[in-house]
Amino acid sequence: MKKTALVFLLIGILFVVQKNSIQAEEAQPKKIRSDIILSSSVPQHDMTNGGIVLFDSVGKYSVGTLGNSNNKGAGVPEWHTWIEYIDVDNDPTTFSSSSMDYIPKSATANVVKAYLSFSESQPINRDETFILGPSGGKFKIDDGVKDVVYDITEFMQQEGAGTYWGKNITMGKQSTARDAYANWNIAYIEEDPHLDSFRKAKLSFFGETRIGPATKRTYMIDKDRLPIKKHGDITGNLALTVNGAVAGELIASSAGDTLTVDALKNGTIIKESYYWDDMRPIDDIFRGATTYNSKNVTTRQPARQYGNTDIINLDFVNLNYFPPGMDGLQVSITTGTGDAMGLEFFGLSIDLDIPIITLSSSELVTNATEFTLQSTVPIKTIITPSETKAILHEADIQIKLPVGILMKESSLLVNGVQVPFEYRQETNTVVVSVGEVGKAEITLQYEIEDDSFIEANQIQTTLMGKIVSEMGDKTDIKHQASSNALLVNPDSVMITEKYVYLDKTEFQKNTQTEVIKGTAYEQTIPEIEGYIANAYQIEGNDMQMGIEGDPIKIEKVTKDETIYYIYQKKGTLNVKQMILNETSNLVIPKQGYITLNHQTDGNLNAVVSSAVESELAYTKITFGINAQLPLYAPGVIVPSYYQYEGFYLTDYQTEHRSEQRNKNQLPEVNYQEKSDYWLTIYLAPTTQNPRPYSWGYR
């Protein structure tokens, strides 16, 4: 019986394989493969001395890796080693799929470079093998070579964050305990403009044949050009992938797998550290696991305990692997009994120790008494590097002069030598390209135009270029400095501000503002309690109405001016509409429609509250009182099937009782003496059985 069952199981597996193979053929992915970076079929690279450097640059960079394996490892049941047709992606057209998520380090991080490594220990058929991106794009793997690296930058930029799948990774049948793997690994460089510091980022590919059990191999990452900071916090991140055949379920491994990180100084090891994290002990870390900052990454599917690729990502601050003063780095892998593996990708991003450039700018005068109008004023800009070796490359100096001052012809000097420059008239900016420069002193002279006023820190100097560290890495920098002197035009003019009614009658004491001649005046009409500002007039000009808080501007004051701020007293009428003798078959209005009529200023319309409750809140109507004719006549629009029933008017807030209402027509309200009134208007139904008017009436 057992033999029969086993035969049936194998037949079932073969049927699934054949069926899925056919379906995958019908759904061939689009071929969008990039050029091959490295192929082990052409062994022209020295893999033991730094590997293949894929990326080596300075910027706000981080490194990262992801990947997965198609099977469980050596020493597992034969059908697991042979090939895993486990459907973990719920896609019947694909087989042997594995995945891992790409999660950006921040919302502002973007992939600038990405590489894919594909390797296997036994020949496989790659006709249907591809990487599926989060957005549905497919990257075809179709080269029949043992190890291959692709540049997939464009593909990863296109697909973005999310789950990446390795699909249809096939392998011929292997016997039990036979090493077998077919893995895909991705290494990428992210750039984030919001990182606090510049970093040196380096990504290398090794990818050589794995080393056997109980063997140690050392990989040189950087021999003598790592610019580790000598002071302050050291931040960065490392990322690596290790491929191999890890002893599985049927082999009792004695473990012993280790990864050591060696800090070098002048080629000599000054500190040796074991890599380990909270998920894995020091002497048994390679089990096809995947961690991120010492935490399990549950996004990898299937999550095999004995997979054949190991993914490590670690962000760090002051990691003891990197002592100050080191200038090189190497890592070593030692395999335990039953395991065999080799380093694929290794990436490191670490803070730079680069020189500091300072920029200062000042006039060579200390106060306004040392120059007169139309005299020449020298300005000095000093570039100071923190190290004598530091040179600024491709340097540009831009000195922006404000309106009112002009550069004196032929006065620009760099270290005492006259140099060519570009003058940009539209921005009044002087631009000089100084090329390579260390410590430098730039001077120029300018003239102040008549009627000009230049405030402190208005002369802006900008320095741009590439600073080079002692490691030879060029980093873009940009510094700005402002002049420190206060330049004053001694001529001043007076602005007189008058607070008046429409007839120019003054109601408040005048104010005066002293303004430097030739400068702008800008002022918003002040708010005054009990008044409404609605116009202004500069003497000799037309009145400007309806200002609504807009500032008053005089672009260039050349003489004394008088400005009239025009106000009206503020009047308020607090109104509500009360319904008397309500009936059940007539809609109670929720709003009343009031007019406030004036003989010359026209009508003011308002919507007020309306109900039967005596506690109904008042609606406040605010307006400017006409000082010459302060009489205002309120009116009401009476809805159908209602009639006017009187009013209650007071010049102070008190309870308005309907039984004490005045049943005469609404009166004129005199705002000569008082500015605030409270008015209740009363309405009542015209009949006990009215014909419905509109149940939607508001």
Q: How confident is the model over 647-692, as pLDDT tens digits?
A: 999 999 999 999 999 999 999 999 998 999 999 999 999 865 554 4
Region class of 16: left (phi > 0), else alpha (psi between -120 and 50), else beta: alpha
Please give the average per-residue pLDDT across 475-492, as a whole number.
57
Q: Average model confidence (pLDDT) for the chain?
A: 76
Centre a 10 Å sphere on the Cβ of residue 442 and count the other Cβ atoms it contains: 24
Report if residue 12 sits inside a domain: no
**Into how many domains does the chain fold?**
4
Q: Which of 522, 543, 568 is at the close of a domain?
A: 568
Report if residue 339 sits inside a domain: yes
Shared domain for 68 and 189, answered yes or no, is yes
Shared domain for 365 and 420, answered yes or no, is yes
Shared domain for 473 and 496, answered yes or no, is no
Range of the domain at 517: 492-568
Structure tokens at 79: 């059908």
Report in angstroms the alpha-carbon separations of 140 from 22, 36, 70, 396, 554: 18, 12, 17, 46, 68
Tokens 């057209």, located at residue = 93
Please give the average per-residue pLDDT across 550-579, as a whole number.
89
Shared domain for 94 and 216, answered yes or no, is yes
Q: Which of 351, 372, 405 is at the close of a domain?
A: 351
| Under 8 Å between Cβ of 495 and 557 | yes
Separation CA 17–CA 94 (nearest Å): 10
Question: 120 or 261: whose pLDDT is higher?
Answer: 261
Q: Which of 460, 483, 506 is at the close of a domain?
A: 483
Shared domain for 340 and 229, answered yes or no, is yes
- Of 237, 229, 323, the C-alpha closest to 61 is 237
| CATH, residue 458 | 2.60.40.690
Centre a 10 Å sphere on the Cβ of residue 601 and count the other Cβ atoms it contains: 15
The pLDDT value recorded for residue 480 is 65
Q: How confident is the model over 398-416, as pLDDT tens digits?
A: 888 777 677 777 788 888 8
Please give the average per-residue pLDDT across 339-354, as a whole number.
83
Shared domain for 602 and 615, answered yes or no, is yes
Report if residue 27 sits inside a domain: no
Most confident of 20-24, 223-227, 254-258, 317-321: 317-321
Separation CA 182–CA 123 (nearest Å): 9
Total length of the chain = 698
Region class of 581: left (phi > 0), else alpha (psi between -120 and 50), else beta: left
| CATH, residue 624 | 2.60.40
Shared domain for 211 and 68, answered yes or no, is yes
| Under 8 Å between Cβ of 454 and 481 | no
Separation CA 209–CA 207 (nearest Å): 7
Residue type for position 63: V
Separation CA 690–CA 698 (nearest Å): 17
Report if residue 692 sits inside a domain: no
Shared domain for 330 and 375, answered yes or no, is no
Q: Given a cut of 50, is residue 7 above it in pLDDT?
A: no
The pLDDT value recorded for residue 211 is 76
Report if residue 286 sits inside a domain: yes
The pLDDT value recorded for residue 663 is 93
Report if residue 29 sits inside a domain: no
Separation CA 176–CA 182 (nearest Å): 16
The DSSP element (H or E) to which 359 belongs, if any, is strand 357-363
Q: Given a cut of 70, is residue 481 above it in pLDDT?
A: no
Shared domain for 458 and 512, answered yes or no, is no
Shared domain for 433 and 445, answered yes or no, is yes
Please give the average per-residue pLDDT across 521-530, as a whole number.
86
Q: How confident is the model over 243-289, as pLDDT tens digits?
A: 877 766 555 555 678 899 999 988 899 999 988 877 777 777 777 77
Q: How confident is the model over 426-448, as pLDDT tens digits?
A: 888 888 887 777 777 888 777 76
- Of 622, 630, 632, 667, the C-alpha closest to 648 is 667
Q: Given a cut of 70, is residue 9 above it in pLDDT?
A: no
- Among 183-197, 312-326, 350-364, name the one with the lowest average pLDDT: 350-364
Shared domain for 159 and 308, answered yes or no, is yes
Shared domain for 340 and 402, answered yes or no, is no
| CATH, residue 538 | 3.10.20
Report if residue 10 sits inside a domain: no
The pLDDT value recorded for residue 174 is 53
The pLDDT value recorded for residue 46 is 47
In the chain, % of residues over pLDDT 90: 23
Please give the average per-residue pLDDT across 571-590, as a whole number.
89
Report if residue 31 sits inside a domain: no
